[in-house]
Amino acid sequence: MSDTSKTVAELAAGLAAGTFSSEEITRAYLERIQGAGADLNAFITVTGDRALEAARAADDRRRSGDAGPLTGVPLAHKDIFCTRDVRTSCGSRMLDNFTAPYDAHVVERCQQAGMVCLGKTNMDEFAMGSSNETSYYGPVKNPWDTDAVPGGSSGGSAAAVAARLAPAATGTDTGGSIRQPAALCGITGLKPTYGRVSRYGMIAFASSLDQGGPMARTAEDCALLLEAMAGFDERDSTSVDRAVPRYSQELTGSLQGLRVGLPKEYFGDGLDPEVARVIDAAIGEYRELGVEFREISLANTELAVPAYYVIAPAECSSNLSRFDGVRFGYRCESPRDLEDLYKRSRGEGFGAEVKRRIMVGTYALSAGYFDAYYRKAQQMRRLIKNDFMAAFEDVDLILGPTSPTPAFNIGERADDPVKMYLSDLYTIAVNLAGLPGISLPAGFAGGRPVGLQLIGNYFDEGRLLNAAHRYQQVTDWHTRAPGAFA
């Protein structure tokens, strides 16, 4: 088995046993990123020299007896997380020349754990998209089929992990951007409870929805990574001061008697029959593990996409006002006057999808329309949350598909924003409610991976990870590698 086929847990064990050094495995991943993986366009920036330096430091740390479980394990960061002295582009021409003067909290935490950053992964511009096609740096290819999208917006992270260019990566999820690309690339991705992981240094898209989290091949790896990433940070006012459990130690629980809800709205129109077949088979596996299923109703599910596409653009129009060509980022050539500077810098720096969202959001927040759109959307958001709260009176977890279809082809939905927005039918409500959700590989449809989604109550990541881990103990979907990258 080549080093790049190992999971985070296997790499950690090998490093602890001295079977290989961090420098050796870091070199192997860097070679693969530049070799077999180069055509996928999964990375915007590869930080080879820094990675090798960090790997040698991790090896020293291990020799001196001061290593943690993840010391020396490589990972990649989505290019939305600020990294000191390394460009942070957020997938946009606007930040093509931006080097952050500080590290995001998540980046800091991974560094403190001794993890080695291989580089920054490609993403939809400002995390707005479901296909990675809005990136200024071009689309990412799905390693299972290079005609297909990897999902978005954390498409580079998902493709990198699926193609074994990195054992793990960070992602962010505002409406599905960890879970949907994880599903489309056949890996495991966890969107934590809102407030579990600090947003400090994570470039803001929609602040009341954004949440960072881990993407890896297994639930066990996600547990190890979440332990490192999560925790209170006073620099993010929405960070929750609550102890971080040892998630990786909680993967032993039985599922006997676990009550899991199947929302009838997640199995209706719009769900690809092949995806439905895969989810049904997974339900069968869980039944054998002793899970008790109940039909539930999340009656306001159909409001999730419309509410999100008012709230997220509204917040983005405010967050992105700081990119004005003055303080940092892109500035147009020879502006005539101040007005021209603002207009052309923003006009040339942002891509079409970002502009569409800024315009929708500005409109929804304008004095004459605030009540009709923004206030209404917030009321819908509350109804959606109430549905989940009522469901969790009767069930411990909720199960359904992550995405209504497997990966679609590059270009197929690019001209149809509404069709693209419906890719997140089953993920968006979870962000509106602030709940944790995980996507795990459950099979294939037409040769492309299908993801199963589990949704938990607030701060119930331990139970989610345990349920995902048990499934991975009795199935092998998560061990499959795309043919060209096996």
Residues that bind ligand GLN (CB under 6 A): 127-130, 153, 173-177, 205, 312, 424
User: Does residue 198 carry a catalytic annotation?
Assistant: no
Say what the alpha-carbon torsion angle 284, 288, 290, 295 is, to the nearest 10 degrees: 10
Q: Are 79 and 90 in contact (CB under 8 A)?
A: yes
Residue 424 C-beta: closest distance to ligand GLN, Å: 5
Residue 364 C-beta: closest distance to ligand GLN, Å: 15
Active-site residue, from 21, 22, 78, 135: 78
Query: Which residues are CB-neighbours of 342 under 8 A, at least 6 positions away?
Result: 324, 325, 326
Residue 189 C-beta: closest distance to ligand GLN, Å: 11
Cα distance between residue 416 and residue 228, in whole Å: 39
Active-site residue, from 177, 198, 345, 423: 177
Query: Closest Cα to residue 225, out of 168, 277, 267?
Result: 168
Choice between 232 and 363, CB closer to ligand GLN = 363
Residue 124 C-beta: closest distance to ligand GLN, Å: 7
Query: Closest Cα to residue 456, out of 217, 243, 190, 228?
Result: 190
Sheet holding 292-296, edge to edge: 43-46, 116-121, 74-78, 168-172, 212-216, 188-191, 437-445, 448-456, 397-401, 259-263, 292-296
Active-site residue, from 89, 153, 157, 439: 153
Choice between 14 and 155, CB closer to ligand GLN = 155
Helix, strand, coil shares of the chain, percent, nearest 5, are 45, 15, 40
Q: How many CA atoms lie within 13 A of 187 on its CB side?
A: 40
Is the omega angle on the peptide bond into residue 2 within 30 degrees of 0, that is, cis? no
Residue 423 C-beta: closest distance to ligand GLN, Å: 6
Strand-pair partners of 134: none
Q: For the stretch 41-55, what's the b/e string if a residue is b when 16 or more beta carbons lie within 10 angstroms of its beta carbon?
A: bbbbbbbbebbbebb
Cα distance between residue 422 and residue 425, in whole Å: 5
List phi, psi (to 5°) of 233. Answer: -145, 115
User: What Å distances lie between residue 294 and 44, 260, 396, CA to CA?
Assistant: 44, 6, 11
Choice between 212 and 462, CB closer to ligand GLN = 212
Residue 130 C-beta: closest distance to ligand GLN, Å: 4
Q: Are 187 and 151 in contact (CB under 8 A)?
A: no
Residue 293 C-beta: closest distance to ligand GLN, Å: 28
User: Does residue 78 carry a catalytic annotation?
Assistant: yes
Structure tokens at 212: 């960072």
Choice between 184 and 442, CB closer to ligand GLN = 184
Residue 81 C-beta: closest distance to ligand GLN, Å: 13
User: Does residue 254 carry a catalytic annotation?
Assistant: no
Choice between 138 and 447, CB closer to ligand GLN = 138
Owner of token pair 């769900």: 271
Q: Is 300 helix (H, G, I), strand (E, B) or coil?
A: coil
Residue 183 C-beta: closest distance to ligand GLN, Å: 13
Choice between 310 and 395, CB closer to ligand GLN = 310
Q: Is 43 helix (H, G, I), strand (E, B) or coil?
A: strand
Choice between 8 and 160, CB closer to ligand GLN = 160
- Give the DSSP letter string of 224-272: HHHHHH-S--TTSTT----PPP-GGGGTT---TT-EEEEEGGGGSTT--
Residue 171 C-beta: closest distance to ligand GLN, Å: 9
Structure tokens at 154: 């954390």
Choice between 95 and 115, CB closer to ligand GLN = 95
Choice between 4 and 439, CB closer to ligand GLN = 439
Cα distance between residue 89 and residue 111, in whole Å: 20
Choice between 75 and 209, CB closer to ligand GLN = 209
Catalytically annotated residues: 78, 153, 177
